Amino acid sequence: MHDSDGDLPVSRRALLRASAGTVALSAVGSARADEDGGEPAVAPRFDQGCPDATLEPGMAHCEGTSMEGCADDHPATTELRSGVAESLESRFPDANALIDAGFKPYFDTLETGDDSWSHWLSPDFIGDDDVLNPERPESVLVDNESWRSMGVMFIATRGGEPTEPPAVYGASESTDRCSPWHAHTGLPGRFGWWYYQQAYEREFEGGDLEFPCRTPCMLHVWAVDHPESVYTHDAPPQEDRELSPADDPEFDTDAVPGEDELGWDVLPNSLVPERTPDEFSLPGPFGIDLGL
């Protein structure tokens, strides 16, 4: 499940084909007349067969997981966070290093909250057999103001397919077990995973256009101080990040870290799919306009 075309962006035609095949997204709860002018037929819903699906952002604990035993000062948490911080500092400190390492950018478009940070995903690490390895994080979380990495999002996959996530510490029957994995069941998170699979993994080429009921299990670990927890899903407030601007990027751009917001518009064309997530609009509560 690797990007066989290297850094070449997926073509607009290809993504149009992928989005056209995702009928479940075309109309949520809407109706259309059949070709013979008969009674309207209800179009398939984006949540058909997905009992936990919501239009709004939503998450669910993965089976057998829990945050009840988690503590920021537990030795296992301290070791994991230190490993993440070291990996980010030495290998993946900023957007420039992530590009060099083959990470692919994703800037949320359907989220309605904090848009000051972005996810960068690694097809290589998503496609390997490692899980919860600070040296091979499936996703790195980047502050869009400084362009600096500030945490990781581990994704429980093996060979690109969802797998059962391991606990950070504690046996399954232990009262202090820490396994704070979650899956996204809301439309924004599910859309983000589907977009990654189509734009960067090119799954449409094998005929796989299915929109998932939920994402694989995911786990955030913040290298910067977070007022809530090392494992909190939402990013720390901007005032708590204390990140100096990254060095000027090596790629061709007029944007400057610390002065210009990191986004699709500041990246070179070779890194931007020809159909970005914001071209899939959400017109109210009734469905997604795929722009076809």
pLDDT at position 15 over 50 = no
* Residue keyed to tokens 């990781």: 152
Q: Which of 7-21, 79-93, 133-147, 231-245 is predicted least confidently?
A: 7-21
Q: Over range 76-92, report the average pLDDT.
A: 98
151 pLDDT band, cuts 50/70/90, is very high
What integer is the mean pLDDT of 39-43?
37
Rounded-to-integer distance, Cα 209 and Cα 214, Å: 14
Helix (H, G, I), strand (E, B) or coil at 186: strand
What pLDDT, on a 0 to 100 scale, did the predictor assign at position 83?
Answer: 98
CB atoms within 10 A of CB 90: 10
In this prediction, residue 166 carries a pLDDT of 95
**Any idea which of 26-40, 100-114, 235-249 has the lowest mean pLDDT?**
26-40
Count Cβ atoms below 10 Å from residue 232 Cβ, excluding itself: 16
How many C-beta atoms surround the C-beta of residue 34 within 10 A?
9
CA gyration radius, the chain: 20
Instruction: Please say if the pLDDT value at position 43 is more than 50.
Output: no
State the CB neighbour count (10 A cutoff) for residue 265.
12
Rounded to the nearest integer, the mean pLDDT of the chain is: 81
Q: Mean pLDDT throughout 267-279?
A: 86
Q: How far apart, in Å, do the first and last CA atoms of the chain sit?
A: 27
Q: Which of 2-6, 186-190, 215-219: highest mean pLDDT?
A: 215-219
Q: How confident is the model at residue 231 (pLDDT cuts 50, 70, 90)?
A: very high
- When pLDDT is averaged across residues 154-180 and rounded to a whole number, the result is 91
Please give the residue that has the higher pLDDT: either 85 or 64: 85
Beta strands in 139-184 (DSSP E): 139-143, 149-155, 157-158, 161-162, 182-184
Amino acid 270: pLDDT? 87
What's the pLDDT score for residue 146? 97
Q: Please state the rounded mean pLDDT for residues 31-54.
A: 54
Most confident region among 17-26, 45-54, 170-179, 208-217 by mean pLDDT: 208-217
pLDDT value for 112: 55
DSSP bridge partners of 117: 143
pLDDT tier at 45, thresholds 50, 70, 90: low
pLDDT value for 110:
61
